[in-house]
Chains A and B, each alone.
Chain A
Amino acid sequence: MKPFAYVSAPDVATAVRTIATEPNAKFLGGGTNLVDLMREDIEQPDTVVDITRLPLTEIEELPGGGVRVGALVRNSHLAAHRLIRTRYPLLSQALLAGASAQLRNMATVGGNLLQRTRCPYFYDGASACNKRVPGSGCDAIGGFNRNHAILGTSDDCIATHPSDMCVALAALDATVEVESVRGLRRVPLADFHRLPGGTPHLETTLEPDELVTAIEVPELTAPSSYRKVRDRASYAFALVSVAAALEVTDGVVSDVRLALGGVAAKPWRARQAESVLLGTPATEESFRRAAEAELEPAVGRPDNAFKIELAQRTIVATLRRLSDGSFGDGSFGDGSRA
């Protein structure tokens, strides 16, 4: 790890002022990803600005029925919060499906948004990676790519965004609140993460001097669920995950939110599937048609082509369970028992 200067910010104003004046600085929240990356010399900040003392730890109910979550709320705390468990089961389930209990106790909401990919070629200094060293190439294309993206990829990068929480937030139309010396702005989550294109090293639309201060989640009335499919029962990133909310009225889909994880460089809001579903009978066949429509542009590679079929099956299975209420069987829908 490269030696670095450490400063602890007492308030938001100081934090954003510090980051604006330090050319190569990073905010430190829970440190569950940043410190790993620093140990591997992938991140080499000259200054680390500790923001864990900032007063961004509240979970508040908003007047319109939504919820505002401070950027420093720990993942474990958010998952267990009554408002989240009762109104946004998909968000609570997504958080609990991520990482381990120890990591969730440390990881913050803001840091979760900014997680970097777990592509092994990104982590390995001896490999070519356009995300780590722009222009160096991509060893994942033609290499091991079981965990890699099938949607929105480019010739320069096929990495995925690893977060579970963000997939739920994408389905929920969440907004990210960011602050800098220039003031405060709100970014829809859908516009927060970028697809790789020719610049895979640019992962979000956040400016280098901006601080995530909160997320806001609008009200959700439809039943919802998060389903994560992975290579072992716990402590593994999603091969495919589905965040879904489904409202069925008189047998017809009256409201639907659908987002996919493990398939793209950003949490993938499945707008295509949603538009196919809305107003159609809530049947297995509709679910299948919608899933196929969403995955139609997917591109598979030797190791990850299975994800195209897996994503469709997982969408169908999740919608089926939401529509027939079979989550009442005591399972979380991922094989583990409540």
Chain B
Amino acid sequence: MSTTTTETKSPPRERAVGRGIDRVDGPEKTTGKARFAAEFPYPDLAYAALVHATVARGRITGIDVKAAEAVTGVLSVLTHLNAPVLKPAPARSMLDLSTMVSATSVNYLNTDEVHWDGQPVAVVVAESLEAAQRGAGLVEVTYQEFPAVVDFAAEEANAKPQPNSMLGAGSAKKGDAEAALAVAPVSVDLRFTTPPHNHNAIEPHATTAVWDGDRLTVHEGSQAISWMRKHLAYRFGIPERNVRMTSPYVGGGFGGKGSVWPGTILTALAARATGRAVRMMLTREGVYRTVGGRTPSIQRVALGAGQDGRLTALIQTSVTRTGKVGGNSESVAEAARHLYDAENILIQQNLVEMDLLPNTFMRAPGVAIGTFALEAAIDELAGELGVDPIELRMRNEPARSPLDGKRFAHRMLREAYALGAERFGWAERTPEPGSMRDGRWLVGMGVATAYHSSVQFTANVTVRLSADGTVVVRCGFQEMGMGGATVQAQIAADELGVPFEAVRVEYGDSDLPTGPMAGGSAQTASIAASLLSACEKLKGSVLALARRSGDSPLRGQRLAAVEARDGGLYRRDRPGAGESYEAILSRAGRPSVEAAIGSESGLGALAGQVRFMAKFINDQRRWVKAASGAQFCEVRVDPDTGEVRVSRWLGVFDVGRVINAKTAASQLRGGIVMGIGMALSEETLVDPRNGRVMNPGLGDYHIPVHADVPPIDILYLDEPDPTMPLGLIGIGEVSITGVAGAIANAVHHATGKRVRDLPITLDKLL
């Protein structure tokens, strides 16, 4: 085939990035074709069910499995007396982030010790789900009980300062905030509490595990397949390459599927012990008893200000809990480090360790509850000062990060509030509490700031361009419904100048290049960074092929002088001069060209990790990076009964460049819905007498129903962050932050009542 020089006459193709493109996985999900972890068929599949401990701390003194074994169809009852031996979970280390994936240190069924009410103490494997569950109900366990620490409220005095970690510093100080508070002309000093929350993804945790000799295949809805794979290999003492983990679809994660919880390990253990393919689908109660949730908190926020409203003192302290056998400290006061330009700042986060199921990541860990207290306190101070709450925030908007003077990579809260106030009709709000009504309804309007720090992980990516102009992007990341595959296809399409439809993205399989975990709102930016590099590398390879040919119009061109568009490479200085990928690859006799970013070898991966940590630390020194926004809400309160209904919502977000207008808006809305639940109804009831969760299901744990969710308007400023790939900032978590604060503030505006203890249930307003 001869070289062709195409003169393009059609107008330039619309870029894919920024458009509201439907999710590529949508049709598979809506037609039921998508295969989730509990739907992989195996001919010899057996089913497993858990038996949960009913004491918070103790030792198993006896397990009677006879009745369970007698149930027709039961294959095996695994207990600590007969289960295969497992290596204990590895200690956590910042040099190997995969160690973070270990949810607890308990070596399930390899110990007679019980560390929380709900810990699995036996697994029943059977030919049917019904037989497994029936068997599990018949296992009789006796315990020697030990004293247990299970009453969070009673442990406040025993809290210890939270150590610094990669997830955030435990404390921070600028000046003498207590002294400044004591002499401040206007001040508030407030105590807030938030209850524990549970994960309620629509897909309960499920695992299908199959052994073939020393090779293990695991299907699981996971937010961290590469880390989980490494963890499983370690626990079972097999090489990492012997474990394959697939997670093609995840029915919601929110942090609850980012760690290895008992169900994962025990399914693989049951499969090993029985020689069968084994599936375990946690019941909703099983999720509550074996998968951690959000820590409760006790917080103090104290603010001092001059009559002009300028903050002289900002104090935020917190007490949260972890389990004695695992869990994470949370950066409750993260937003207080960055939001207000106070002369004196004191941050002190504290921890108690308890004999309870360890807490885990849950959408904006720490910050979601920390911004409730901080933003409600700012509103109270505004009330004391007689200043509009938006105006008070603007008077204290810092030019640089108030604690350390670092530069903000990006900061547009002024613009967000200005746009939001106009769109929401903030000027119509009469400041006096109880002054707005709609019929008998009391009406209130409230605002709060949303804020979530931005991080990135390493991501290995390959991109293959075929002679027919199609592109395959491969990366073992996780798609939890947020549109991960769709946005990466959009990015690749624009970078390579091909139609969006020409790009296929492969993900959710540990056989693929190692992806980042889906957490910390980091997945999209992490992959995008590597994908951009891979596309650049790929274009370089293609250009090199073209340059080999004497009569190519691209001969002698440097990559910088060439742009990818219309399915090929074209000179920037002579728009008509260039070649299609098809032409270049055909001439070179190459069916495809591939580029890879990141190493899969042990040493290369370690080097990548070290490079990543170095960049991370360097970035942290230079910049404060975050997604932020302004939350506006309107509530109606029934003056007779205290019922609160959120009637209107607007979130204006600064999340850098928006890659997909539709999926971004959906994800931001979802965070607000979750925040409404946190504000008004969600609470895990942990019985303080024995540590048992007493509302383990959607009937008693009140997430919002449709009728609780108003129309939610989402606006974004769409200004690229110069320090992020493509200027994008992760959006997974920011929109839950500030929600509870905005609602509490609106409820106060409606009723004159300040509720500082979540959830804001009607009894607190009577």
Contact = CB atoms under 8 A, between A and B. Distances in A.
A232 B766 contact: no
A143 B681 contact: no
Nearest to A142: B689
Interface stretch (A121-129, A190-198, A247-255): A121-129
Interface in A292-321: 306, 309-310, 313-314, 316-317
B694 interface: yes
Nearest to A121: B694
A229 interface: yes
Contacts of A229: 641, 643, 762
Given A229-B641, A310-B763, A126 B705 contact: no
A295 to B, nearest CB: 14
Contact of A314 (B640, B694, B695): B640
B636 A335 contact: yes
Contact of A233 (B641, B705, B761): B705
B766 A144 contact: no
Interface in A158-175: none
B708 A232 contact: yes
Contacts of B130: 1
B571 interface: no
Given A142-B689, A316-B640, A231 B762 contact: yes
Interface stretch (A58-66, A78-86, A234-242): A234-242
B708 A144 contact: no
Interface string B372-393: 0000000000000000000000
B754 interface: no
A312 to B, nearest CB: 10
A329 interface: yes
B133 interface: yes
Interface in A121-146: 121, 124, 126-127, 139, 142-144
B762 A335 contact: no
A144 B687 contact: yes
A232 B759 CA distance: 11
A127 B704 contact: no
A329 B133 CA distance: 51
Nearest to A230: B643
Interface in B42-61: 54
B11 interface: no
Contacts of B134: 1-3
Contact of A234 (B638, B694, B706, B762): B706
Contacts of A329: 439
A150 B667 CA distance: 43
A11 interface: no
Contacts of A235: 699, 705
Q: Is the interface of B mostly helix, strand, loop or mixed?
A: loop
A120 interface: yes
B325 interface: no
A1 B133 contact: yes
B648 to A, nearest CB: 14
B559 interface: no
Contacts of B645: 233, 335
Contact of B640 (A1, A313, A336): A313
A271 interface: no
Contact of A335 (B643, B700, B705, B763): B643
A231 B705 contact: no
Contacts of A313: 640-641, 766
B641 A120 contact: no
A317 B702 contact: no
Contacts of A239: 762
A333 B705 CA distance: 18
Interface string B724-766: 0000000000000000000000000000000000000111001
A17 interface: no
A48 B687 CA distance: 35
Interface in B431-483: 439-440
A41 B133 CA distance: 11
| Interface size band for A | 20 to 34
A201 interface: no
B681 A120 contact: no
Interface residues of B, number: 34
A68 interface: no
B680 interface: yes
Given A2-B134, A120-B685, A232-B680, A126 B692 contact: yes
B702 A310 contact: no
B707 interface: yes
Contact of B687 (A1, A41, A143): A143
Interface string B701-730: 010111110000000000000000000000
B640 A231 contact: no
B20 interface: no
Contacts of B707: 232-234, 336
Contact of B705 (A127, A234, A334): A234
A236 B702 contact: yes
Nearest to B707: A233
Contact of A127 (B640, B692, B761): B692
A239 to B, nearest CB: 7
B398 interface: no
A335 B443 CA distance: 13
Interface string B117-145: 00000000000001001100100000000
A143 B766 CA distance: 23
Nearest to A307: B763
A232 B439 contact: no
Question: Which among A120, A142, A313, A336 has the highest number of chain B CB atoms within 10 Å?
Answer: A120
Contact of A231 (B694, B706, B761): B761
A234 B705 CA distance: 7
A120 B694 contact: yes
A329 B438 CA distance: 11
Most chain B beta-carbon contacts within 10 A, residue among A142, A239, A316: A239
Interface in B634-675: 636, 638, 640-643, 645
Contacts of A121: 694
A310 B763 CA distance: 8
Contacts of B762: 229, 231, 239, 310
Interface string A2-19: 110000000000000000
Given A121-B694, A143-B687, A310-B766, A232 B640 contact: no
A49 B157 CA distance: 57
A121 B641 CA distance: 27
A317 B692 CA distance: 38
Contacts of A316: 640
A124 B761 contact: no
Nearest to A236: B702
Contacts of B766: 306, 309-310, 313
A289 interface: no
Contacts of A41: 137
B702 A335 contact: no
Contacts of B640: 313-314, 316-317
Nearest to B708: A233
B631 to A, nearest CB: 20
A120 B692 CA distance: 11
Interface in B518-555: none
Contacts of B439: 329
Interface string B673-686: 00000001100010
Nearest to B692: A126
23 contacts: A1-B137, A3-B134, A120-B685, A120-B694, A120-B700, A124-B692, A124-B694, A127-B692, A143-B687, A143-B694, A144-B694, A231-B761, A231-B762, A232-B681, A232-B705, A233-B705, A234-B708, A235-B699, A310-B762, A313-B640, A334-B643, A335-B645, A336-B707
Q: Which 7 A-B pairs have the closest CB atoms?
A: A233-B707, A306-B763, A317-B640, A126-B54, A234-B707, A120-B694, A234-B705
Given A3-B134, A326-B440, 12 more contacts: A41-B137, A120-B695, A232-B681, A232-B702, A233-B645, A234-B707, A236-B702, A314-B641, A317-B640, A335-B636, A335-B643, A336-B707
